[in-house]
Amino acid sequence: MRDLALLRWLGWWAGLALWSAVAVARADAVAGRTVARDAGDLAETTTAPAETVPTPVEEAIPIDEAQEAALIREVGEGFAIKRTPHFVVAHNVAQALSDDLTQRLERTYSAIYRFCGHSTIDAHRPSRRLAVLFFNDRSDFDRFAATIGFPAANTYGVYNEPTNRSAFFNVATDPGMIELQQGVAAARANLEQMNQVLREIRGRRTVVEVEFADGRRVQFTRSQATAEIASTRHRLARIEQRRENLIQYVNRSIIQHEIAHQVLHNAGVHVRGARNPKWVVEGLAMMFETQPGAEGAGIAGVNQMRLQDFREAVAGGVPSAGLGPDHFLQAVAAGRLVPLERLLTDSSLFTGRGEHGTADYALAWSLMHYLHRTRGEMLAAYLRELGQRQPGVPVSSADELALFERHFGPPDESLTRRWSSFILGLAVRSTSYR
């Protein structure tokens, strides 16, 4: 029966949809890479419901109507202002999305100040609410990015230090995601149509020939075709769920990373306009990619995505069991990882994409995580000294190394071995989108 040729998409779609889901999830992003995870995968522990709003840590920052008016002029007609105790958001998205965003903003803000308080890191409160732009359409985000000189391709959000704005968009409007959504919808419609066709076939031994997209022709009996459709429906349902998880994680983990940049720059941990070491800026932000609970549980836990990136770079494609400091040094010698001195001084590392960019971000997270867990007081003192830098004042590589050495000792092989041994000894949890 000619209608049975509708089965031709089966082999093609299963492969394409799985590839598309991974391709969208692994697109290079502002934080080096974006990878979807199930809830809790990035956190070592999560002890409270993800959507619980934390208790405010202090009174709301006063409303600034002039600030709000300026935001509306910046984004144009069709946008509304949404206030939270510490943020002002100009958006044109549905209420459910804006509610989710603002809960996430406040939860991240609260977690950062708890983290700083517990770690004795100096952090003052901003005097104005932090400004955020939330676009419904990817194209509007791209246009905004162009005005600030930000290369937005394959990214999902940004904190811009000169304008002191964060900007995000509804990831469901990303062209890659739209294509994936349309493909899933079309595939489901085809499956329903095939079920109708199969119901019209008489005889258990009837054989139908199916042409696949790659030119293969396969014969099925009615029962075999039915089983194949059922299997594909199951795979598609899983892909659709992963697509939804991807939307949630792009709207969540990227937001937390960029908002961490914004809060830390406005809390004085980083100085706006000053020469802040990029490994510190990115390393701290990655401490807040993990999923927080009501009281910040999970924040600064083991970032499983970055840990796995670290281990993959060390392993170089070979089985990663039993990795140690020697393997790390071999990865540096092979060029898969940069030496510690370069990590501390080369800001250009964090403008890269692809495997090297991923590895550089993983290194920055791992060093920050190691120092926080093992040299907490020294880290607080180091950040305190960085917080005294002045905007526009140059800092040489020699000065960066001297400051680091003053607080943590020389960035030599001994430190490298202790750091890499600690990180490679962390427990690895399996993740759904690996």
Rounded-to-integer distance, Cα 24 and Cα 135, Å = 19
Rounded-to-integer distance, Cα 312 and Cα 434, Å = 11
Q: Which residues pair with 210 in a beta bridge?
A: 218
Q: What is the DSSP string of 256-319?
A: HHHHHHHHHHHTTSS-TTS---HHHHHHHHHTT-SPP-TT-TTTTS--HHHHHHHHHHHHTTS-
Cβ within 8 Å of residue 276, ≥6 positions away: 270, 386, 389
Burial of 222 (0-12, 13-18, 19+ CB in 10 A): middle
What element of type H or E holds 19? Answer: helix 9-25
> Dihedrals φ, ψ of 355, to 5°?
-65, -40
Rounded-to-integer distance, Cα 273 and Cα 162, Å = 7
Rounded-to-integer distance, Cα 313 and Cα 335, Å = 10
The identity of residue 332, as a single letter, is V
pLDDT value, residue 26: 34
- For residue 6, the SS3 value is helix
Rounded-to-integer distance, Cα 242 and Cα 389, Å = 44
- For the entire predicted model, the pTM comes to 0.80
Instruction: Report whether 244 contacts 185 (CB < 8 A).
Output: no
pLDDT value, residue 179: 83
Residue 122 C-alpha from the chain's centroid: 26
10-residue averages of pLDDT along the chain (434 residues): 34 33 35 38 31 53 96 94 98 96 94 95 96 97 96 92 96 86 77 70 70 65 79 81 75 86 98 97 94 54 91 86 94 97 96 81 97 97 98 97 98 98 91 48
DSSP 58: S
Residue 240 C-alpha from the chain's centroid: 20
Q: What is the DSSP string of 18-86?
A: HHHHHHHHT---TTS------TTTT-S---S-TTPPPPPSSPPPPP-HHHHHHHHHHH-TT-EEEE-SS
